[in-house]
Amino acid sequence: MSKKIIQSVRGMRDILPEEQRYFSFLRNIFETACEQSGFQKIYTPTVESTQLFEKTVGKATDIVEKEMYTFKSKSGENLALRPEGTASIVRAYLENGMTSKPQPVKLYYQLPMFRYDRPQAGRYREHWQFGVEALGEKSPLLDVTVIALALRIIKQSGLSNTSLQINSIGCHLCRPKFKKSLVNFLKENEKKLCVDCKRRLKTNPLRVLDCKNDSCQSITNESPQMINSLCSSCHEHFRTILEYLDELDILYEINPRLVRGLDYYVQTVFEIWSELDGSQSALGGGGRYDGLSEIIGGRKTPGIGFGLGADRIVAALQRENIVPEVKNRVDVFVIQLGKEAKKKCFKLIYELQNMGVGAEGSLDKGSMSDQLKMANKLNVPYTLIIGQKEAFSDTVIIKDMASGCQEIYPQEKIAKEILKRVEKIHR
């Protein structure tokens, strides 16, 4: 009777080699775009104080109420696996004295996030997020810069069926008045709301606006809109953003339902949607969070950022049949025939790798045909062959895989010759 294999934890997954090509492709696009825009890389710990997220994200949000992985350390400290990136980045900004640097401080990250959400297609309990945060500047032009960067990354990935959704949710001056009018309206229609929205009405009424339930949407179609209740400062901030988006010929849709699900957002909120086969899903989003630093314990610091769901973008690429081109990292395949040849091949592979040449060989395969099949599969430009004759004469056969031509070289010169040829290919 065979033993049962231990399975991965529900909601977690392996990202296998064939899918890594998509993630590597996205990482390269994201990192290049961020650094060309003056952002610098930062990593934060996977484990943070639970209080960091309870205070900043909001106790009445789905993340804190039901989606966080929390636990106690051996010393009794309440800890959590990082569910989102912004609070951690702002904490690192404050803790590491970045307030004294020239502002804005522009940071980017590529990190896994953890949420105890119901696993479903494209939603995992561990998921990778690419994000940026720009701290220390209030200008609406910084909002436009951040939005344009997110769109550039999506565009460079090859996705075309996307849209920019944008809204302003006001500030601490104008939002309370809107919130009151929204609650009054929703209470009149409370019986028609779904179970979740009846709860949100008491804890986080703005979240009713982005409910996907058909009944709730039919009600909120007639609800008051925040954009009509903005104070003069928020109105001017939003007007400037739209004006500059128009200047850049960036298409957008003002979406009064868009509120985002975290308490720290103020003014600008936005999402990038994938629209394919009549369905919509958010690839990522973000917004402004000018009061977040004070909640953590720092001085007032404006900030704006976004997070892109790498897993969701990969799924969208696959839906659109976009297959990233992968550069071959192996330049040479070394073929051996015989005991002495095997030793020399093993040493040659080691020497080539130390020189920065991608080299591989199958030293347990016996026949020439089996080894050539592997070389063809790897699509290498050159194959090096050492048989018994070559082993004793200290020579190596270079086979050009494109032309089929073969040349004999002295063994002591072969590594430098291959390096020269490979560098020429990669220029």
- List alpha helices for 277-378, DSSP H: 292-296, 310-319, 339-354, 368-378
Q: Does 224 reside within a domain?
A: no
Parent domain of 103:
17-174+230-319
Same structural domain for residues 41 and 168? yes
Q: Distance between CA 344 and CA 333 in Å, rounded?
A: 14
420 membership: H or E segment, kind and range: helix 411-426
Q: Distance between CA 144 and CA 248 in Å, rounded?
A: 9
Distance, C-alpha 312 to centroid of its chain: 9
CB 264 within 8 A of CB 164: no
Determine whether 197 is exposed, middle or buried from the number of CB atoms within 10 Å of its CB (0-12, 13-18, 19+): buried
Q: Does 392 reside within a domain?
A: yes
- Identify which of 414, 427, 408 has the alpha carbon closest to the alpha carbon of residue 359: 414
Q: Distance between CA 316 and CA 154 in Å, rounded?
A: 11
> Residue 127 has what pLDDT?
92
Select from 266, 291, 319 the last residue of a domain: 319
The enclosing domain of 379 has a CATH number of 3.40.50.800
CB 298 within 8 A of CB 99: yes
- Rg (the chain; Cα; Å): 28
- Identify which of 36, 253, 244 has the alpha carbon closest to the alpha carbon of residue 165: 253
Q: Does 262 reside within a domain?
A: yes
Select from 319, 353, 377 the last residue of a domain: 319
Long-range contacts of 115-122 (CB under 8 A, 24+ apart): 115/63, 115/67, 115/68, 115/69, 115/83, 116/11, 116/66, 116/67, 116/68, 116/69, 117/11, 117/67, 119/10, 119/11, 121/315, 122/281, 122/311, 122/312, 122/315
Q: Does 135 reside within a domain?
A: yes
Determine whether 61 is exposed, middle or buried from the number of CB atoms within 10 Å of its CB (0-12, 13-18, 19+): buried
Q: What is the three-class DSSP state of 393?
A: helix
For the chain, the straight-line distance linking the first and the last C-alpha, in angstroms and rounded, comes to 57
Same structural domain for residues 421 and 297? no
Determine whether 380 is exposed, middle or buried from the number of CB atoms within 10 Å of its CB (0-12, 13-18, 19+): buried
CA torsion, ordered 108, 111, 115, 117, to nearest 10 deg: 90
Q: Does 219 reside within a domain?
A: no
CB 372 within 8 A of CB 365: no
What crossing angle do the helices spanning 140-157 and 17-36 adopt, rounded to 10°?
Answer: 150
Q: Does 144 reside within a domain?
A: yes
Please tell me the total count of domains within the chain: 2
Q: Does 7 reside within a domain?
A: no
Q: Does 196 reside within a domain?
A: no
Q: Distance between CA 358 and CA 163 in Å, rounded?
A: 41
- Identify which of 328, 309, 280 has the alpha carbon closest to the alpha carbon of residue 26: 309
Same structural domain for residues 117 and 33? yes
Give the amino acid at 421.
R
Select from 267, 290, 319 the last residue of a domain: 319
Task: Determine the length of the chain.
Answer: 427
From first to last of its 427 residues, what are the pLDDT tens digits of the chain?
Answer: 568 899 999 989 999 988 999 999 999 999 999 999 999 999 999 999 999 998 887 665 666 666 889 999 999 999 999 999 999 999 999 999 999 999 999 999 999 999 887 777 667 899 999 999 999 999 999 999 999 999 999 999 999 889 999 999 999 899 889 989 998 988 998 888 898 888 888 888 888 888 888 888 888 888 889 989 999 999 999 999 999 999 999 999 999 989 887 778 999 999 999 987 556 689 999 999 999 999 999 999 999 999 999 999 999 999 999 999 877 788 999 999 888 898 999 999 999 999 999 999 987 766 888 888 888 888 899 999 999 999 999 999 999 999 999 999 999 999 999 999 988 887 7
- List alpha helices for 189-309, DSSP H: 195-203, 214-220, 232-247, 292-296
Contacts of 15 (CB under 8 A, 6+ apart): 23
